[in-house]
Amino acid sequence: MRKFWSYGSPYTDLHYYVPRQELIDKAILKLVGEKSEKGGHYITIWAPRQRGKTWIMGEVLFRLRDVPEYDAFDVVHLPLESLKLKTNVTEIMQKITVEILEQLGLTKTPTDLESLFKRDILSKPLILILDEFDALIPEAISGIVSAFRNIHFRRYQQANLPSGERDYLLHGVALIGVRAVLGLENKRGSPFNVQHSIHIPNLTFEEVESMFKWYERESGQQIEQAVINRVFYETQGQPGLVGWLGELLTETYNKHNPSITIRDFEIAYAAAVDALPNSNILNIISKAKQNPHKQLLLKLFQTDEKLAFRYDDPDTNFLYMNGVIDQEIEDETKRYIKFACPFIQKRLFNYFTGEIFGQEGQLYPPFTDLSQTITENDLNIKNLLKLHEAYIHKNKDWLLQDAPRRKDLRLYEAVYHFNLYIYLDRFMRRRGGQVWPEFPTGNGQVDLIIRYAGKEYALEVKSFVDDYEYNKGLDQAARYGKKLKLKEVTLVLFIEQVDEANRKKYETIHTDEDTGITVEPVFVVTG
């Protein structure tokens, strides 16, 4: 029986996988060419990490090698990660040349990498796949793609000849993971402007569902549809995370009930968020905490406006290619930054919360009367938020001393969100309650859910900007309450200062006409 897999490329006879046949066919068509006698294309295979680039191109390799239709070509697949620590360009070129010759079983000695692909060296047209290409130093990348560009134009000048009769026999090239090749790190511009580009997307919902249905057929164990829905929602189809959660659900946290339930998912997911190491996530956190990229993420946790997605912005590009963020497309013309998926956003939220607030201090003075805030059966959210506000005012000199700040020296809005979460979490854990964050949009909005004494309380967290955003926040909170099947929701509004007249005006309980949900706005003053 197969298993779910997240430790590199899956084996199709051992692991659950998605065929992704359309992408494989597209890559083969590009490498072979629409008319093979005219030559193939030089292509880049690019996507954030853990999207399955290497596996897809491995399937391309097997097809090109095993199908008689492609016997006219030699095919070489060369991983380059072992060369990432090499700093001598000549040595890198020589190593690649030797590896290609060895795979082809050739003993000839070309003078350099470019001459390796001449007709007197190779015996037939060659399709070359270079994996982890962006692991090389920029100078080596520039030198190699410049050689490929020269070969491409030499072959183009002989387009009247069949591919196998031209001076150079480098028929098609695939460069995998080629962020640098796209020109973003090359001050002179990309030397490889002849390449075609194939982007590898995340798995679709149907593809994720197909793997779990496959498991059902093989195991005889049913999986509740709500579990599959949550796996896709939390991962947005990122193959590595889908495989990891699939493994946790079907092996580590599988209680062998007649079906895997949403409760099983909650247990596995809680462990994945708080307790279990995962190389994919650890790598993402290591990238996210680096300056200056960290500053963009802290901005992304704000709730008052979306951030534009521009691929040529260095911070955006770095975080996107490392799987931290993705793009949200609105009206097919506008692109905004969002977190890659809710699971990654939760892990980063937890990480930054712990990093910024390692020391937390006293939640409230020892003799504080809490009878109007919490009892054995009820929780007053407004009074609890007033406790948090008093905590900030009393401790802000040391509590926020080392917190990250914007260029104007004001604290990032996210700092207060992190602090509210950690304050509520500490407060509720003492009394057997539970708090967890949710991120419904992926680009800044933070909701906190409190479970206590058999009840759930929802807090939508925003910054107060103006009347328009305030009214929009009321509508959003009401819709959120309806989604959670709650009658009441608290809209938490952070603000630096507010006078009593405006506090009275805006802290007015609102009942939404469409949903009937009651929304209680509460200011938390930070100044």
Task: Find the mean pLDDT for residues 63-71.
Answer: 94
pLDDT at 503: 92
Place of tokens 């079906």: 259
Dihedral pair phi/psi, residue 365, rounded to 5°: -60, 150
Helix (H, G, I), strand (E, B) or coil at 24: helix
Domains of the chain: 21-199 (3.40.50.300), 205-276 (1.10.8), 348-525 (no CATH)
Q: What is the bridge-based pairing of β-strands 170-176 and 126-131?
A: parallel
pLDDT at 386 over 50: yes
pLDDT at 307: 86
pLDDT at 313: 87
Report the range of poorest mean pLDDT among 353-362, 367-376, 474-483.
353-362
Residue of 499 and 298 predicted with greater confidence: 499
pLDDT at 189: 45
String of DSSP letters for 376-425: SS-B-HHHHHHHHHHHHHHHHHHHTTTS-B-TTSPBPHHHHHHHHHHHHH
pLDDT at 303: 58
Q: Which two tokens stand for residue 248?
A: 């946790």
Strands (E), 302-395: 325-330, 334-339
How far is C-alpha 348 from the geometric centre of its chain's CA atoms?
Answer: 11
Rounded CA-CA distance 340/432 in Å is: 32
Please give the mean pLDDT across all residues of the chain: 88
Helix (H, G, I), strand (E, B) or coil at 162: coil
pLDDT at 187 over 50: no
